Structure 1
Amino acid sequence: MPTMSNDHIVKSYDEELARLTGEIQRMGDLALKELEASIDAVVERDSDMATRIVESDKEIDGLEEVISQDVIRLLALRQPMARDLREVLAALRISSDIERIGDYSANVAKRAIALNRVDLVRPVFSLPRLGKLAAEIISEVLIAYRDRDADRALLAWARDEELDGLYTGMFRELLTYMMEDPRNITACTHLLFMAKNIERIGDHATNIAENVYFIVHGTQIPQDRRKGDKTASVVAKMAPPKAKGEEPDA
């Protein structure tokens, strides 16, 4: 009889973990769709679509709250150990990262509404490539989480350097447009913020990959995250030279 009771407890706990994974998967799918739709809203100059995207972010926020409550209940009632504990803690971290991905996607949509009020500039067509790569990374880490596939997570994690490189290239292009014609400054500034939001989405996707690796192996990824964001050096190179005798910046 005690064996049957223990089997029931284990089955019940497994079902709770499966439900938690499902909630995170649903949350991730919503965030991914939100990012893809926000890019479409920019390219199609569709302010109505952008407004709907901003409103839809509330659903992602609500799911994060549900997941947080589920995690607290699991910790209090089940007192998980070892890998089970890693599963529960990682779920909390991953849901937080997905919520931030949703926020950044909504920020892109908000900027799309403002961008639609000014003339179009050519660099807007660089944004979909950046968004597509970020969406691919998100998709890969969500699959890695669903399958508990540390190798797949590691491959997605490494692609953040590629995303940073694309972001740096777009940053350079936008600065050039602003320097060549001040009339481009407003539109390019909105695009700069959009590009930065997508770059940050990539950072949160790599956080998810790191948590998947942690679930499987119980350790952090044994290498530093390579960063391809060179925007600081781009600004330094493009800044006008100081006049002779001018004091350096403090």
Structure 2
Amino acid sequence: MKSIRFLLGLLLTALVLGPLMMMVWLSLNPDEANITAIIGTARAFFPSGFSLQNYREIISDPYQPFLRYLFNTLFIAVCLIGTGVMVNSAAAFALAWGHGKYRQWVLALIIAVFVIPGEGLTIPLILMVSRWGWLDSYQVQIVPFIASAFSIFLFYQFFSKLPAELIEAARIDGASLFTTYLRIGLPLSKPVIATTAILGFLDVWNSYLWPSMVTRGVEFRPLSVAMAAYFGNQQSYWGNVTAFAVLMALPVIIVFLIFQRWFVASVVGSGVKG
């Protein structure tokens, strides 16, 4: 039984890592003719050359400035995740431990918004930001997505399971709801913060529809839109395309490795045990 599980795990690992390794090997192959000959065959899964030429061409391309695209995407992701964690967690804590009957109605409204496809709000949203003069800017890719129904609900699920004794003790000591959130709720919610940070980072990194509609040039364009434009212009240069893809995937892998301990804890089922 153990050997069967080991073989199944090995097969699953090969299925997951195989395409990634093929992409890496092709990106390190400087011979475009050789890449064209082996792509789509089993030989593509094995190294057939080693050179950083494709990476140098990607980084030094004046028409598709990769470093500018990378800065844009990282800036948008950091601003969106940083403000989103604070706004969404504060809103969730107020819904979990605030006063008033409004909380259940607001929570029901948040859940209702969560089930609405984001594409259905694209046209009204783009009309609004166009009137505000936000097209082709950073804020048009950040501000509309700071508040997230999914993140609020995720934080609410965590905060609602906190021991009531902790919150009551803070209230007896005279702490306001916001102070209780800062000193108790936020420090205890690291697993949820890690989960929302990773999912939010992936969402920003893979976002294509909205940035393609609101950006026009390279000044504010993120990597996802640049990747599509680059692939359309360089279809025959698979070495460069795969090098671009590898460079685009590296930050995602790094972020996951940084937060993976808290992410796994949250997925398994984190909670505060009293």
What's the TM-score, normalizing by structure 2? 0.28
Larger radius of gyration, structure 1 or 2? 2
What's the TM-score, normalizing by structure 1? 0.30
